[in-house]
């Protein structure tokens, strides 16, 4: 401590200006000179002169000490001179000389002493420093050892040292855990050989180590203690023994199984993605913002005719049709300006061969994390065929429109003709109605009159002849009547005349009409009617339908029963005529209500008929009476024809 203080003091004083020290010594000297004079040159006072000399030498330097010693002699001499002691000048000077010599000896001795002390201090300081440094180094080493030990125990990587024959000499806890040991202690002394999946890998590695000395991040397929596979990344070096022989190996390793699997998965994923891009059925490309192709796939090469190498030296502008370019560039501008996110357009490329390829391009832009445009992703579909089809279609359409125009005018002409024909047809029907019926009415009237015996008795043959003529005329009249009815229904010119009727009365009228034939054939009639059914309908048309059903029933039955039944359920009236006749074959059912269809049966000729009866009946029922017709039949057993009618056609 004292040394330290001295050192500080020393250096403090040393920093003071030598001039000020010198002045201090000088003032001290003058002060001592005045004491010397006052004391009358006492020898003991003379010793006091040594004080400023000491100060000068010790704190300033040897030269300053010499100067002060001379000043002291001058001061002392001056005091002596003014006292005028009895010394002669010679003795006076001699004394001064002796005194000066003594002072100089004092200065020399003092300087030597100071130098000696300083040297000693320096040596002590050096030693002390060295001791301090050693202490520090020891401390650092201790800390370092602690750190490394901690690192060794806690690091995730395995750290090992093994003998040249492959036994673990050292293994950290992480290493033990990676290799499947419960603790490092368990592994020490064990052979590491069993951790190699392929022992030749080890040979190979040792070869590398011998030649190059170290390996780093060297992947190895290994096995854990329990035999499960593991992939390890090894960094190792040879530790030579003092004799320079291979002493063993040391290094670090880490478990990269998961990382490697992730890498494999990533590579597979990348492969898949690459394949999806490369082998996509449509053209795909990455395009730089300035239009350079950065990556193109096979489909794009094949649709453009250029090889991948060629395309990569070109821009999309190079192969785009000039007429389509500005529209495309406008889209590019918009997508770069973020006005739009994606775009799609149809445009033309020039194939390498020079022909035009129509494409549909869909484009989106990829940006980096700072939002700067990186590249466009373009999907390019060859739509040449579609375009060609569209053009052909357009031509067809134009052609069709032309045809339609022609046809329309033709139709218009035809329509005029048809209108005229319709008028003629109406006239014809009206004419038929009157002109054909009038003579037929005559024939029927006269034959009836003659047959009734009013004009005198007829023999059998005459009666038969006249009956045939009469029946033929009736048949013809029925045919004409049916045709006129059908024509009118089809032309929508027949109207219903609704009136309130009792169903039983209409049935009675119908029975009256067919009674003679019924009687002739010896058929039984059964009536099964709900009482008092009244309905609002067209009486005449209903009667017409009913007569038709009943005369059919009679015509096509040779024996048995004709049954007429009726029911009323809610607002529906059901009326049916059943027979036990020949019935209708399943295959003929669909022809039943068609015009001019007469089914092939053994009764066909005998029964007669126009082939229009059921067709007309169905039309009357559906169009005029607002009802429905249905039929059930079993061939050989009989048929049932039914009507379903609304109870009031005005509300139907």
Partner 1 sequence: MKTGLIIEDDDNNMVLITRLLGKAGYQTIQATNGSQGFEMALSQRPDFIILDIQLPDIDGTEVLRRIRNSEITRTIPVIAMTSYAMAGDRERLLNAGCDEYIEKPIDPQRAIAQIKRAIGDIQ
Residue entry with tokens 């670090």: 252
Looking at beta carbons only, is 108 or 480 nearer to partner 1?
A: 480
Give the residues lining the site for partner 1 (CB under 8 A). 433-434, 437-442, 444-446, 448-449, 452, 454-455, 473-474, 477, 481, 484, 495-497, 499, 538-541
CA-CA distance, 437 to 478, in Å (whole number)?
A: 10
Smallest distance, Å, CB 445 to partner 1? 5
Smallest distance, Å, CB 439 to partner 1? 7
Q: How far apart are the first and last CA of the chain?
A: 134
Smallest distance, Å, CB 399 to partner 1? 52
Smallest distance, Å, CB 506 to partner 1? 13
Query: Which burial class, exposed, middle or buried, applies to 61 when counting CB atoms under 10 A from its CB (0-12, 13-18, 19+)?
Result: middle
CA-CA distance, 512 to 543, in Å (whole number)?
A: 11
8-state DSSP, 589: G
CA-CA distance, 193 to 191, in Å (whole number)?
A: 5
The sign of the dihedral angle between the CA atoms of 602, 605, 609, 610 is positive
The sign of the dihedral angle between the CA atoms of 246, 250, 251, 253 is positive
CA-CA distance, 532 to 554, in Å (whole number)?
A: 26
565 three-class SS: strand
Looking at beta carbons only, is 285 or 624 nearer to partner 1?
A: 624
Smallest distance, Å, CB 450 to partner 1? 9
Smallest distance, Å, CB 455 to partner 1? 8
Q: Which of 455, 242, 235 is nearest to 463 (CA)?
A: 455
CA-CA distance, 80 to 46, in Å (whole number)?
A: 11
Smallest distance, Å, CB 589 to partner 1? 31
Looking at beta carbons only, is 481 or 551 nearer to partner 1?
A: 481
Looking at beta carbons only, is 370 or 452 nearer to partner 1?
A: 452
Smallest distance, Å, CB 489 to partner 1? 12
Looking at beta carbons only, is 224 or 540 nearer to partner 1?
A: 540
The sign of the dihedral angle between the CA atoms of 154, 157, 161, 163 is positive
Asked whether the beta carbons of 380 and 286 are under 8 A apart, the reply is: no
Looking at beta carbons only, is 352 or 539 nearer to partner 1?
A: 539
8-state DSSP, 432: I
Looking at beta carbons only, is 163 or 448 nearer to partner 1?
A: 448
Looking at beta carbons only, is 448 or 628 nearer to partner 1?
A: 448
Smallest distance, Å, CB 541 to partner 1? 7
CA atoms within 13 A on the CB side of 56: 30
Looking at beta carbons only, is 147 or 493 nearer to partner 1?
A: 493
Looking at beta carbons only, is 538 or 579 nearer to partner 1?
A: 538
Residue entry with tokens 């603790």: 183
Smallest distance, Å, CB 497 to partner 1? 4
177 three-class SS: helix
Contacts of 180 (CB under 8 A, 6+ apart): 224, 225, 226, 228
| Residues of the chain by 3-state class (helix, strand, coil), percent to 5 | 60, 20, 20
Smallest distance, Å, CB 642 to partner 1? 23
Contacts of 226 (CB under 8 A, 6+ apart): 180
Looking at beta carbons only, is 434 or 587 nearer to partner 1?
A: 434
CA dihedral 322, 323, 324, 330 (to 10 degrees): 90
Smallest distance, Å, CB 538 to partner 1? 6
Helix (H) / strand (E) element for 636: namely: none
Contacts of 629 (CB under 8 A, 6+ apart): 593, 617, 618, 621, 622, 641, 642, 643, 644
Bridge partner list, 469: none
């Amino acid at each position: 401590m004292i040394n330290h203080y001295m050192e500080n003091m020393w250096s403090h004083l040393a920093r003071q200006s030598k001039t000020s020290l010198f002045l201090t010594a000088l003032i001290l000297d003058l002060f001592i000179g005045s004491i010397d004079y006052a004391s009358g040159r006492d020898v003991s006072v003379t010793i006091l002169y040594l004080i400023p000399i000491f100060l000068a030498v010790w704190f300033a330097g040897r030269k300053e000490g010499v100067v002060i010693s001379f000043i002291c002699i001058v001061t002392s001499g001056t005091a002596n001179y003014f006292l005028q002691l009895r010394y002669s000048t010679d003795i006076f000077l001699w004394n001064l000389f002796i005194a000066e010599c003594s002072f100089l000896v004092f200065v020399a001795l003092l300087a030597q002493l100071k130098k000696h002390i300083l040297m000693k201090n320096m040596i002590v300081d050096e030693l002390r420093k060295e001791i301090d440094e050693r202490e520090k180094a020891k401390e650092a080493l201790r800390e370092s050892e602690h750190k490394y030990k901690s690192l060794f125990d806690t690091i995730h990587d395995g750290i090992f040292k093994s003998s040249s024959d492959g036994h673990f000499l050292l293994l950290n806890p992480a290493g033990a855990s990676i290799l499947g040991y419960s603790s490092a202690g368990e592994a020490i002394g064990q052979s590491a050989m069993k951790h190699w999946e392929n022992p030749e890998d080890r040979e190979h590695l040792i070869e590398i180590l011998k030649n190059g000395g170290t390996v780093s991040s060297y992947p190895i397929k290994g096995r854990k203690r329990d035999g499960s596979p593991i992939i390890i990344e090894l960094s190792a070096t040879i530790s030579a023994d003092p004799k320079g022989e291979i002493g063993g190996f040391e290094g670090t390793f880490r478990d990269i199984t998961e990382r490697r699997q992730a890498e494999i998965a990533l590579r597979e994923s990348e492969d898949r993605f690459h394949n999806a891009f490369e082998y996509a059925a449509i053209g795909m490309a990455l395009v730089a913002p300035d239009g350079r192709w950065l990556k193109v796939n096979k489909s794009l090469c094949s649709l453009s005719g250029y090889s991948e190498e060629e395309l990569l030296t070109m821009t999309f502008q190079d192969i785009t049709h000039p007429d389509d370019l500005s529209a495309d560039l406008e889209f590019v501008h918009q997508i770069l300006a973020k006005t739009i996110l994606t775009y799609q357009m149809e445009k033309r490329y020039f194939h390498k061969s020079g022909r035009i390829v129509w494409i549909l391009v869909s484009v989106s832009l990829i940006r980096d994390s700072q939002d700067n445009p990186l590249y466009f992703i373009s999907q390019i579909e060859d739509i040449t065929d579609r375009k060609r089809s569209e053009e052909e279609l357009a031509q067809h359409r134009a052609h069709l429109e032309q045809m339609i125009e022609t046809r329309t005018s033709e139709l218009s002409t035809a329509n005029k003709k048809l209108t005229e024909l319709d008028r003629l047809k109406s006239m014809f029907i009206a004419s038929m109605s009157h002109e054909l019926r009038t003579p037929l009415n005559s024939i029927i009237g006269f034959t009836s009159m003659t047959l009734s015996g009013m004009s005198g008795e007829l023999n059998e043959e005459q009666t038969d002849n006249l009956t045939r003529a009469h029946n033929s005329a009736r048949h013809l009249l029925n045919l004409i009547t049916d045709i006129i009815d059908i024509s009118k229904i089809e032309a929508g010119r027949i109207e219903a005349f609704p009136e309130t009727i009792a169903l039983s009365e209409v049935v009675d009228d119908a029975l009256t009409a067919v009674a003679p034939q019924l009687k002739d054939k010896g058929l039984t009639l059964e009536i099964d009617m709900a009482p008092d059914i009244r309905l609002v309908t067209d009486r005449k048309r209903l009667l017409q339908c009913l007569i038709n059903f009943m005369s059919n029933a009679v015509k096509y039955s040779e024996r048995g029963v004709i049954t007429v039944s009726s029911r009323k359920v809610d607002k529906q009236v059901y009326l049916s005529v059943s027979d036990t006749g020949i019935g209708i074959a399943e295959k003929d059912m669909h022809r039943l209500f068609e015009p001019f269809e007469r089914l092939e049966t053994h009764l066909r000729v005998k029964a007669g008929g126009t082939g229009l009866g059921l067709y007309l009946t169905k039309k009357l029922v559906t169009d005029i009476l607002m009802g429905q017709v249905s039929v059930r039949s079993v061939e050989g057993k009989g048929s049932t024809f039914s009507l379903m009618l609304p109870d009031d056609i005005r509300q139907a």
